[in-house]
Chains A and B, each alone.
Chain A
C-alpha cells in the first residue's frame, strides 16, 4: 500500500495549455522516488500539487492525489491544509529565500510545532536543538539564535532539512534541494538527506534534473516530458536499460566526470520529435 498515490493528475494554466498530462505515480512508505525531466517538464508542479501550493494561475482539471488513502482534492481547503501539515513537509530549492529574514532560526523551526501541531514550547525547543545536532550543525544554540543572513547557504539548507523532519512527516517533497548550492556542498547535503530519510523512514519525492543525483538517492524514478510520465522504473533497472527512447537519450546526455574528453551528447532532434509526437497524440486522444 503506497502512502502517496497520484492517479491521472492533469493540471493546466487557467484557460491555457496543460502542464501535467494524466500523471500517475506511487510512493511507498519510506521509499524515495525521483522526478526527473528538463526545465518546464512539470516535475516541480507535481510536488506543488501534492503539497497544495499550486500557484493561483494554475488549476487541477482531473485526477486524484491519494494521501494515505484519502483523496486530497475532494477535501475542503481547511481539511486539506491540516492533513498535509500533519504528514508532509517541503525541502525547498533555494535556501536563501526559504528562511524568513525577519525571524531568528529557532522560532522558525519551533513556532510551527507549537502553533499548528500543539507541541509544548520547551518540548519544541529541545526537538529543534536535537535536530540541528542531527544535521551536524556544530553549535546549535548559537545557530538557533541567529538570523538567516548570518549563516552560509549550506548551513541554511541543513536547517531547512532539519526543519522538514521536525514533525516526523511521512512524506517530504524535496524540490531540487541542491541546485542552488555549490558542488562541494551539494554532495554533503545529498548524503545528509539520504541518511536522514533512511533513519526516519520518511518517503521522499525528490525533484531534480540531475540523473547522477537520482542514482545516489532514489529507489524509483519517473521521467517526465511536457508534463507526461514517459517512464516509471526502478532506478537499478533504469540505469541498466532505460525503456523509453527519450529517457535513454537523457541518460546518454548526462556528462560523465570519469570521461571528460567525451564531450556533450544533447538529446537528438529525432528523439525530441518522437516524444513531441507522442504528446500531441495524447492531447488528440484526450480531446476526443
Chain B
C-alpha cells in the first residue's frame, strides 16, 4: 500500500467515526422528545440518585441513573444535545462566515482594508475572552441568542487571522498574477482563484469552532449564564453533578463523556474533511 492510500484510509476511519458520532447525536437531538425514555424535567424525589443500569439498585427504564432530584440522566443528555448542537451549528456558521470573509478581504485586498481589519483584530484579541463573554451575557441577558452572539463576537478573529494569512500566501502565487493579467477584477480573482484554496482551512476551522462553541455553551451553563435553568444542558448537568460527585458520580460523568466525544468528533471531522478536500491527497 502506498503512502497516499494509507493516509486516505486513516483519514477515512477518523472521518467516519467522528461523522458517525455526530450523526447519531444529531438524530438523537432531533428526535429527543420522542425517543427520550422519560420526561427530562420530571422530578421524583423517591427515585433520586438511582445508579446506572448495571449497578445494584438500578431501576428499569432509568438507563444512566437519575440525579438528586430524580430526573433521568439519559433523557436530560438527549435534550441537552439539542441546545449543544444548535449552538454549535448556528454560532459556528455565523462566526465562520463573518471571520473568513473579513480575513479573505484583508489578506487579498491588502492596503487600507487590511489595515482596518488587522487593527480591529489586534484590539479584539486584547480582551480576555471569558470575561468578555460573561460581560456580554450580562448586558444581553441570558438565553440561547445571547450565547450565540457572544461566541460570534469573540471568536470571529480566529477565522479572520488564519484566513488572512492563507489568503496572503495564495495571493503571492503566480496563478493570481496570471488571472489579473487576463483581466479578472479583484473581487473575481478573490472568489475564483483564492477562495477555493483557502476553503480546506476554513472547513477545519469551522469544525473546530463548532467544538469550541459546544464547550463555551457548557462553560456558560456551568456558571449558570446559559439558557433558563429548567432546560437541560450538558454544562448545567455537570454543574449540578459536581455537588453530588461522591454519592452519584454518574450525574457528572455521563454528560462529561458526551461533551468530550462531541468536541473530539468535531475536531477530527475537520481533519478528515481537510484530507478529503486537499486536491493533492484527493
Contact = CB atoms under 8 A, between A and B. Distances in A.
A98 interface: yes
B228 interface: no
A51 B182 contact: no
Contacts of A116: 182-184
B131 interface: no
Interface string A93-116: 110011111110000100110011
Contacts of B177: 51, 53, 90, 92
A84 B188 CA distance: 17
A92 B279 contact: no
A82 interface: yes
A99 B196 CA distance: 13
Contacts of A90: 177-178, 181
B183 A149 contact: no
Contact of A112 (B173, B182, B279): B182
B111 A103 contact: no
A98 B173 contact: yes
A94 B172 CA distance: 12
B279 A101 contact: yes
B183 A100 contact: no
Nearest to A166: B182
Contacts of B110: 56
A187 interface: no
B interface, size bucket: 20 to 34
A94 B199 CA distance: 23
Interface in A53-104: 53, 56, 78, 81-82, 84-86, 88-90, 92-94, 97-103
B179 interface: yes
Q: Which of B174, B181, B192, B193 has its CB near the most chain A CB atoms (within 10 A)?
A: B181
Interface in B132-191: 173-175, 177-185, 188
Contact of B280 (A78, A85, A92, A149): A149
A147 interface: yes
A52 interface: yes
B39 to A, nearest CB: 51
B244 interface: no
Contacts of A53: 177, 180-181
B174 A103 contact: no
A116 B111 CA distance: 26
Contacts of A97: 173-175
A112 B179 contact: yes
A245 B60 CA distance: 100
B197 interface: yes
Contact of A100 (B182, B193, B199, B280): B193
Given A56-B111, A85-B182, A99 B175 contact: yes
Given A56-B111, A103-B196, A147-B279, A98 B185 contact: no
A111 B184 CA distance: 10
A84 B183 contact: yes
A99 B185 CA distance: 18
Interface in B43-78: none
Contacts of A56: 110-111
A167 B199 CA distance: 30
Interface string B109-120: 011000000000
Nearest to B180: A53
A97 B183 CA distance: 19
A259 B63 CA distance: 88
Given A102-B196, A102-B197, A149-B280, A93 B174 contact: yes
Contacts of A149: 279-280
Contact of A102 (B174, B179, B188, B279): B279
B175 A100 contact: yes
B182 A98 contact: no
A202 B185 CA distance: 25
A99 B193 CA distance: 10
Contacts of B174: 92-94, 97-98
Interface of B: 110-111, 173-175, 177-185, 188, 192-193, 196-197, 199, 279-280, 282
20 contacts: A53-B181, A78-B185, A82-B183, A84-B181, A84-B183, A89-B181, A90-B178, A94-B174, A97-B174, A98-B178, A101-B197, A101-B280, A102-B197, A102-B279, A103-B196, A108-B175, A111-B192, A115-B188, A147-B279, A149-B279
Given A89-B182, A100-B197, 16 more contacts: A51-B181, A53-B177, A53-B180, A56-B110, A78-B185, A90-B177, A90-B178, A92-B174, A92-B175, A92-B177, A98-B173, A100-B193, A102-B199, A115-B184, A115-B188, A149-B279
Nearest first, the 7 A-B pairs at minimum CB distance are A85-B183, A102-B196, A98-B174, A92-B174, A112-B182, A97-B173, A100-B175
